[in-house]
Amino acid sequence: MHKLNGSFSTGYALLTGLMLIALAPASSAQESKEPDIVPAGETKTPKTRVLELGAKLLQSNSPLKRFDIYLVGFHPMKDSPEDQMEAHHYCHQVNEDFAQCALFDGNTADANLNGIEYIISEKLFASLPEEEKKYWHPHNGEILSGQLIAPGIPNMAEKSLMKGKMNSYGKTWHVWDTGHEGKLGTTLPLGEPMLGWSFSRDGEAIPGLVEKRDKKLKIDTSEVRKQREDLKQYAKPQSGVDDLKGKFSRPTRDIPGVIDQGNARSLPHTTE
């Protein structure tokens, strides 16, 4: 069995140090993604703006200050996989095994809060009741494909961060459909929450979805993927990899190193 080298906190410590060294280039690398939906309602009045200013000066926003890790990835909905969206995560690493994220449809001041995601280590996932595990999506496909990124930080720091999240799982609920790829969202959060999932095979993403993100944020997912090839050695079979298998009309291909736990028994045994 592979031994997971590194942890969430180890990766984050290196991330913080390198950001201090390379603050200028890191800041200039991040591009903007404006939201596609403007919430329904009237423009703020001067009175409301004054009240906001007073609250900013007199009240604390302590719970939000520690949401200091920024990730961008993609979420298909588990019950309707062709409904796919770009997801901007603002996360706080609570401890070695648990993180919590607020999800937005962009990274500007006007971005809409449209969901939440909790991230746990494989150790905590293994402790869950079997009935609960169906809500948690695997992360290895997102990481090894290069689709999950931490924009604007040095490559070495980003890779360390992703290494620490190998074999982890996320539980994602989108409570507002602010727009899926090719579909306009609603101007208010309507209906039931949607369980978000992850891509575990090439070809599952709607053509153009990843490329559009790359163009806006000025990155190259294919190049990121090459830089992460050595992370495959840390990948273990995960639950949920096959949950969307066969649910797309277009051909899909396996991502090397991304294996469903249900198929692990048929693999030849290897040791390191």
264 Cβ contact list (under 8 Å, min separation 6): 237
- Mean pLDDT per block of 10 residues along the chain (272 residues) reads 44 47 40 76 75 69 88 97 97 96 95 97 98 98 98 93 97 96 92 97 97 94 97 98 95 97 63 36
| CA gap 210, 221 in Å, rounded | 8
| Distance, CA of 170 to CA of 181 (rounded, Å) | 21
pLDDT at 258: 98
How far is it, in rounded angstroms, from Cα 62 to Cα 138?
30
pLDDT for position 39: 76
